[in-house]
């Protein structure tokens, strides 16, 4: 299941994400993964949460990001939650491509894995293919 947290830069999206990561790490019966451009969230989340850096893994497009998520899930069936901070820093401002990525990840994860993204953009600028994941 895919969800997004939207808002302009500085609107508190990362704080909301950190709170959700902390809650998930306490309540899960599986693994929690945090995907970030670098490891800046390392000190804000529990040690039990696995951190994956897109920079360290040379993930610079939505297509390669999908491969990363598919690989994570193929390698560990116990992942229950994936949190992604600043997805637009990975694939850029192409909102249609972002909508396509969200749809592919939603199909890949189904109801088994919760995937939460932060999207630094005004909700009014997003196409329906992205807005439909805002919960």
CA distances from 35 to 41, 124, 128, 129 (A): 10, 26, 24, 22
Rounded CA Rg of the chain: 14
H helix or E strand, kind and range, residue 121: none
Domains and CATH numbers, the chain: 2-131 (3.40.50.300)
> pLDDT tens digit string along 50-102?
999 999 999 999 999 999 999 999 999 999 999 999 999 999 999 999 999 99
> pLDDT tens digit string along 2-46?
999 999 988 999 999 999 999 999 999 999 999 999 878 888 999
- Which positions ≥6 away from 69 have C-beta within 8 Å? 35, 82, 105, 108, 109, 115
3-state secondary structure of 45: coil
């Amino acid at each position: 299941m895919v969800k997004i947290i939207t808002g302009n830069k500085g609107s508190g999206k990362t704080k909301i994400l950190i709170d959700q990561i902390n809650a998930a790490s306490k309540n899960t019966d599986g693994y929690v993964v945090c995907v970030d451009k670098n490891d800046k969230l390392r000190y804000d989340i529990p040690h039990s949460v696995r951190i994956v850096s897109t920079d360290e893994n040379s993930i610079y497009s939505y297509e390669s990001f999908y491969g990363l998520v598919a690989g994570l899930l193929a390698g560990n069936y116990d992942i229950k939650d994936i949190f992604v901070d600043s997805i637009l820093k990975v694939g850029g401002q192409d909102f249609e491509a972002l909508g396509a990525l969200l749809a592919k990840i939603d199909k890949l994860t189904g109801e088994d894995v919760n995937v939460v993204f932060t999207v630094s953009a005004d909700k009014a600028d997003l196409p329906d293919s992205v807005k439909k994941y805002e919960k």
